[in-house]
Structure 1
Amino acid sequence: MIIKYLSFSISIAFISWIVGMLINAFIRKTDFYHNHLNHLNFIKSEKLNKIIGLPVFKWIVKNTFFKFFNQKLKLKGKIDEAGLIKLRAEMTTSETDHLIAFIFVTCFAIVAFYNFKFKSGGIIMFVNIIMNLYPSLLQQENKRRIDQFINKF
């Protein structure tokens, strides 16, 4: 039974990435995106990032097949300010994709909880946090590091 919920959750998470990209493509052209979503920062504390396990998640992304998912999020060649700004923009896009996907999947979990399917809703939210929230938090951390480099230029 848990396998059924887990496979459904993973399927919804993958579908949510597509939904996130589609919705983000529309809102990317708005002022709201450039004025607010470009500067999101949920967790500013490095200590809190360590407590929630973000360094472990970062290691998993860097050292497993996940590193092949978004090839635009890599520095190539000589590092200059223009390259960092472009990389930061790609990270913002990825972060927003994952946040929209997180909200999308959360709706499924809320419906499951509303229908008293607590095990299903809990598994959906667990997978959602791992596959959508953590990548977004990782992008926020990376954007903070890039901002420090941009300020040095």
Structure 2
Amino acid sequence: MKHLIQGFVFGISMSFISWIVGMIVNSLLMKTELHYKLSNLNFIKSKDFNKKIGMKPFKWIVKNTFFKYFNQKIKVESQNDDLIEIRKEMVISEISHLIGFVFVVIFASYKIFSAGIIFGATMMIPNSLMNLYPSLLQQENKRRIDNLLKRKNR
């Protein structure tokens, strides 16, 4: 039980730190070809699978709690909003979270060997909720914006 709690708490701490690491590494990658390739990632294309993994409740949590204040640049408030600029901000957020996710995965892998499998595996729970899910949410929102832009261009 001790490793379970410590792993979870350490996972939360590492996930917060990973946000900063993700932003720094992403800012270094922005002018590279890799960033362009990463900007078109689409891990989950199925709306049904997004529902199965709980993306709808996660989206509700982001929209209706203090998380809604984190990135004000990715809000669509009217039809006159610049969807291309909002999409760029979503890509920045998505890639930063993915970098943060990988950062914590590396630490969790190390902790599996140094502190035990329960400690390391438990670190992945907050990492998934604080890095993977936000990235998947941005991918879903990017698809919606891409559809809007296609309709707008027709």
Is the TM-score greater than 0.5? Answer: yes
Identify the residue that residue 41 of structure 2 maps to in structure 1. Answer: 40
The CA distance in 2 between the partners of 1:50 and 1:13, in whole Å, is 24
For residues 10-43 of structure 1, what are the alpha-carbon distances to aligned partners after superposition, in whole Å with 9 as ceiling and x for unaligned? 1110000000000000101112212x11100000
- Using structure 2 for the length normalisation, give the TM-score: 0.92
Q: Which runs of 5+ in 1 are unaligned?
A: none
For residues 84-139 of structure 1, what are the alpha-carbon distances to aligned partners after superposition, in whole Å with 9 as ceiling and x for unaligned? 00000000000000000000000011011223611111111111111100000000
Identify the residue that residue 124 of structure 1 maps to in structure 2. Answer: 123
Q: Which runs of 5+ in 2 are unaligned?
A: none
Q: Specify the code of the residue in structure 2 equivalent to 1:46.
A: K
| Structure-to-structure mapping, 1:58-97, within 5 angstroms | 58-79=59-80, 83-97=82-96
Q: Indicate the percent of aligned positions where both proteins have the same amino acid.
A: 52
Greater CA drift, 111-120 or 96-105: 111-120
For residues 58-94 of structure 1, what are the alpha-carbon distances to aligned partners after superposition, in whole Å with 9 as ceiling and x for unaligned? 01111111111111111245425xx000000000000
Identify the residue that residue 25 of structure 2 maps to in structure 1. Answer: 23
RMSD: 1.3
Do the aligned partners of 2:7 and 2:121 also contact (CA within 8 Å) in 1?
no
- Using structure 1 for the length normalisation, give the TM-score: 0.93
The CA distance in 2 between the partners of 1:38 and 1:91, in whole Å, is 9
The CA distance in 1 between the partners of 2:142 and 2:94, in whole Å, is 10
